[in-house]
Structure 1
Amino acid sequence: MTNASLGEDPLHQSDAVREYFGDVYPRVLAFAELLAREGVERGLIGPREVTRLWERHILNSAALMPFLGEGRVADVGSGAGLPGMVLAAMDPERDYVLIEPMERRTQWLFEAARECGIDNARIVRGRAEEVAESVEVEVVTARAVAAIDKLVKWCSPLLTSQGRMVLLKGRSAADELERGKYTLRKQRFTGEVHRAGTVPGVEETTVVVLERV
């Protein structure tokens, strides 16, 4: 897929997107164009997703930003860099750790950070439970990695005592919270579902925030 395909996305280089991202738009744009150019060939996104990249992936990831609070962020199962690379591009003064177990994907993340000038993103290869001794953060993010109860078990060791988890989820988020309530209680988390807007006309994103009691 080429940048011409990204040009078919009605949000690509739109005034609304430019205004939403403001001063960090060039960094986000560089990542979006790189993902559109190489993502399909490298198995990071499907071929039909290039023409809706901004809504489905970039803005979807960006919707987490208002819920992060303060402190360092670890994006677990970062994969294509969603949401971690997008958030790091938006937030250059904060340290981000992108955790990914697959070698080919960590290589992509290294290359994307370098080519897009996202130098506040540190790439760590491994699973969350494997890197807990070397990574400690105030915030954990994740997108399409696992059910909430599993994420809590895997990611709690990464968090400081007052840490939080900010997760991209689908419409069944409330049901997931209910199914995971015993795990949440055991790990001392409370959970809340939010609907987050970005650009006018784009569907709101479901965000689950888990706060450690």
Structure 2
Amino acid sequence: MTGMVDHAGQLARGAQQMDVALSAGQAEQLLAYMALLNKWNKAYNLTAVRDPDEMVSRHLLDSLSILPFVADGRWLDVGSGGGMPGVILAIMRPDSQFTLLDSNGKKTRFLTQVKLELGLDNLQVVNSRVEAFTPEQAFDGIVSRAFSSLADFTSLTRHLSTSDTHWLAMKGLYPESELQALADDFTVITSEELAVPGCQASRHLLILRRTAQG
């Protein structure tokens, strides 16, 4: 334990502030995931956040903040790393399917362990570069947190989408310059400034779609 910080209470209060309904089982799974992340981080370097007291806000609540924008369906978390936001979304949306993709073998080994220990049947882990990934079906939604620029994020995953796919890009500051470099057939349909309890930094979510070119 790190001092007297009550992580369960911190998570419950934060979720409540964001109007995210959290069942006891989901809260338990989220905290179990955080414990695994903390344990494996020492050897696997999964996240730069070393302090568990910061992990609730920086990882759990930050990932939960996009939940209202995650519709049911088949989702891909690109460059999932330590599993943000993919693991958190899989816990919260048990009826949807989540594929977590990362080219780093250590990170996908960790994610496979999370899947097994938390019993997340709706989660699939793929160790591959995104360009080489060719699933049988396209995805309804593609999400990334700090994976790459918007231009790279959309162009590298274009082959995994349909005309209805939504891209959710989690960003810090509003990425004005990145938007200039976006391909012509992509458009931002929503931009949300997210308020993450306990996080002072600016957080934005951009939702993009491919538009048919005439």
TM over 0.5: yes
Q: Are 2:16 and 1:16 equivalent residues in the alignment?
A: no
1:126 partnered with 2:125: no
Per the alignment, residue 113 of structure 2 pairs with 111
Deviation at 1:67, TM superposition (A): 1.2
**For the structure 1 residues 21 and 113, does the alpha-carbon distance in structure 2 shift closer, same or farther, using more than 3 Å as the test?**
farther
Gaps of 5+ in 1: none
Aligned to 2:194: 196
Aligned equivalents of 1:11, 1:211: Cα separation in 2: 40
1:156 maps to what in 2? 158
Check 1:11–1:169 CA distance in 2 against 1; reply closer, same or farther (3 A cut): farther
Maintained 8 Å contact 2:150/2:178: yes
Match for 2:101 among 88, 99, 105?
99
Distance 2:157 2:101 in 1: 11
CA drift at 1:71: 1.8
Q: Which moved more, 1:58-67 or 1:75-84?
A: 58-67
The aligned length equals: 203
2:135 equivalent to 1:138: no
- Counterpart residue number, 2:210: 212
Which consecutive residues of structure 2, in runs of 5 or more, have no partner in the other structure? none
User: CA distance change for structure 1 residues 65 and 46 in 2, over 3 Å: closer, same or farther?
Assistant: same
Secondary structure, counterpart of 1:81 in structure 2: coil
Contact 2:40 2:110 in 1 (8 A): no
Task: Out of 114-123 and 41-50, give the one that drifted further.
Answer: 41-50
- Distance change >3 Å, CA 165–CA 153, structure 1 → 2: same
Counting only pairs closer than 5 Å after superposition, residues 156-195 of structure 1 correspond to structure 2 as: 156-177=158-179, 179-181=180-182, 183=183, 185=184, 187-195=185-193
Q: Decide whether aligned partners of structure 1 residues 212 and 120 sit closer, same or farther in structure 2, where only a CA change above 3 A counts.
A: same
TM-score w.r.t. length of structure 1: 0.85
> Identical aligned pairs, as a percentage?
25
TM-score w.r.t. length of structure 2? 0.85
The CA RMSD over aligned residues, in Å, is 2.2
TM superposition shift of 1:133: 4.3
Contact 1:106–1:125, Cα closer than 8 Å, also in 2: yes
Name the CA distance, whole Å, in 2 between partners of 1:134 and 1:101.
Answer: 19
Paired residues for 1:46-125 under 5 Å: 46=48, 48-125=50-127
| Contact 2:193-2:203 at 8 Å conserved across structures | yes
- C-alpha contact (below 8 Å) 1:11/1:55 kept by paired residues: no
Does the 8 Å contact 1:128/1:155 carry over to 2?
yes
